[in-house]
Amino acid sequence: MGSAIAPSRQVTASILAGGRSRRMGSDKALATWQGVPLLQRVFATAQACCTDVFVVTPWPERYRTLLPRSVRWLVEPPTFAGPMAALALAMESAQTPWVLLLACDLPQLDETVLQRWIQALPDAGIARVPYHQNRWEPLCGFYRADGLPSLQAYLVRNGDRASFQQWLQVVGATPLAVDAAIAPMFHNCNSPDDLALN
């Protein structure tokens, strides 16, 4: 059930839809969960939380019929540079203090939880990210747009060895607590078996 909180004007949601989907065997953004394409589900949740929503992808033409005209496309090169490079593009493009980064394959996102986290965002720091089972959940996290130089410098230094987990440790990300009620939000659909759980 949706909440009555108005979408935030201080956070830009950026949905990643540019992966290879190798384990799925077909474009997972188009795969359905309870009859709705994954990208469409995540977009609806993002739109409920943020007035400005980007979709970061090399292929906007694949998804135009799924999403409203209000969506803003960030077109990345089709070289599969990875989610950290996509985050850098989103941080560079956002006109808000914070960016909410979301993978397109998280069908159980809870807008009430996301809105609660949005309301508690501070005026400082680089990242606030859920921490669950001894690891960060970076593809459902909040990043301050002014942290872009730190991210860019890290990517230049580390190249192909760049790791979200490592960068979040380096910048001293603030962990968002995850309890048993929140944990299902991080079920991502990388394979047909993951989809079978819906």
Residue 35 falls within a domain, yes or no? yes
| pTM for this prediction | 0.91
Bridge-based pairing of strands 140-144 and 98-103 is antiparallel
Residue 153 falls within a domain, yes or no? yes
171 is in which domain, residue-wise?
Answer: 8-195
Residue 3 falls within a domain, yes or no? no
List, for residues 158-168, the tens digit of each pLDDT value: 988 999 999 99
- C-alpha distance from residue 100 to each of 30, 39, 47, 133, 164 (Å): 21, 15, 11, 21, 15
Is residue 114 a contact partner of residue 100, using CB atoms and an 8 Å limit? yes
- Residue 58's pLDDT is 92
> How many domains does the chain fold into?
1
List, for residues 101-147, the tens digit of each pLDDT value: 999 999 999 999 999 999 999 999 999 999 999 999 999 999 999 99
DSSP class per residue in 22-64: TTTSS-GGG-EETTEEHHHHHHHHHHHHEEEEEEEES-HHHHT
Give the angle subtended at the CA of 7 by the CAs of 177 and 39, to the nearest 5°: 75
Residue 2 falls within a domain, yes or no? no
Residue 1 falls within a domain, yes or no? no
Residue 42's CATH number: 3.90.550.10
